[in-house]
Amino acid sequence: MINRICIIGVGLIGGSLARALKASGACKEIVGTSLRAANQNSGKHIPGKQSTGNQSSANLLKAKQLNVIDRFETEISVAVKDADIVVVSVPVGAQDAIFIALADCVSSDTIITDVGSTKRSVSDSADKYLGKLSTNFVPAHPIAGIEKSGVEAASGDLFQQRRVIITPTENTSKIAVSVVQSMWEKTGAEVIKMDIDHHDEVLAATSHLPHLLAFSLVDTLSQLDEKSEIFKYAAGGFRDFTRIASSDPTMWHDICLANSNAILAVLETFTRDLKKLEQAIQEKDSQFILDVFVRAKKSRDTFCNEQL
């Protein structure tokens, strides 16, 4: 059993992890703290990324009232004291401030992990700011989530039968990897190891691009003169496709910047294929259009049957 876990950022993912570990009896105590606490310690200003002191404290208090965490601390040095594991659950653009703060106050025995959707940028940040402690850092990414955010949306079932990808480097402590893997398995997740850069390429295609398209489509339609009528008559297909555009804008802004190379590569391929489809529609190329739709349906049906 884990004696104490500190979660920095008790929102949907951090809160769901806390709930799942509590439900499984895997941890004696879960301490919550915030990005603001780390920002104060690091002295690194992250524009637009931190809540005000009142908002930060209110969120932590809400997490305590909902019994998501056992207690919270507004000083990161106090929050991480005697922690076996520190889980960083903040937008990837704020990781620098977290690692700067942790380098000054975390024990050399403490294992550090994260939940970010990009892994190269986070791993590089850990190497840069954690120093020798970076060997205890295990990059991780739970492939789970909903369009809602905040601790109120946290669920202990969020990771059940979902995958968590961990991307250790050759310098990562094998003991740390084993502990983090065990932690996630106790939430009901399946843990998979993957190369860092391969992770970012895969997620650019399967997660980052779809979010980019959803945000862009809704933004485009919202600027049309007839937008009220468009959204008024939007059917289930539109709602299903654009659901993820209700996700946290700050988080996805950071992901787009942190994984820009991989996103641009897959976006270029998608744009090329979309242009071909546009041309086929202009030319009324019935067979080309049908072939695209048939291939897409076959791939989607296969994917659903095997993965979802």
pLDDT for position 12: 94
User: Which CATH number among 1.10.3660.10, 3.10.560.10, 1.10.1740.10, 1.20.1250.20 corresponds to the domain 198-307?
Assistant: 1.10.3660.10
CATH 1.10.3660.10 in the chain, residue ranges: 198-307
The string of DSSP codes covering the chain is -EEEEEEES-SHHHHHHHHHHHHHT-EEEEEEE-HHHHHHHH----TTTS--HHHHHHHHHHHHHTTSSSEE-SSHHHHTTT-SEEEE-S-GGGHHHHHHHHHHHS-TT-EEEE--S-SHHHHHHHHHHHGGGGGGEE-EEE----S--SGGG--TTTTTT-EEEE---TTS-HHHHHHHHHHHHTTTPEEEE--HHHHHHHHIIIIIHHHHHHHHHHHHHHTSTTHHHHHHT--HHHHHHHGGGGS-HHHHHHHHHHTHHHHHHHHHHHHHHHHHHHHHHHTT-HHHHHHHHHHHHHHHHHHHHHH-
Phi/psi of residue 63, nearest 5 degrees: -60, -40
Cα–Cα–Cα angle for 88, 184, 110, nearest 5°?
50
Ranges in the chain annotated CATH 3.40.50.720: 2-194
Beta bridge partners of 32: 7, 72
Tokens representing 52 are 């005000």
Cβ neighbours around 198 below 10 Å, total: 13
Handedness of CA 87, 89, 92, 96 (dihedral sign): negative
What pLDDT, on the 0 to 100 scale, is given for residue 49?
Answer: 45
Calculate Rg over the CA atoms of the chain. 21
187 closest CA partner among 2, 13, 24, 11: 24
Query: DSSP for 122-155?
Result: HHHHHHHHHGGGGGGEE-EEE----S--SGGG--
pLDDT value of position 235? 78
Bridge partners of 6, per DSSP, are 31, 86
User: Out of 3.40.50.1820, 3.90.950.10, 3.40.50.720, 3.80.30.20, which CATH number does the structure's domain 2-194 have?
Assistant: 3.40.50.720
- Per-10-residue mean pLDDT of the chain, 308 residues long, equals 95 96 96 80 48 71 95 94 97 94 94 97 96 96 88 95 96 97 98 98 97 95 83 83 91 96 98 98 98 96 71
Q: Which residues of 97-114 are buried (b: 16+ CB within 10 A; e: fewer)?
A: bbbbbbbebbeeebbbbb
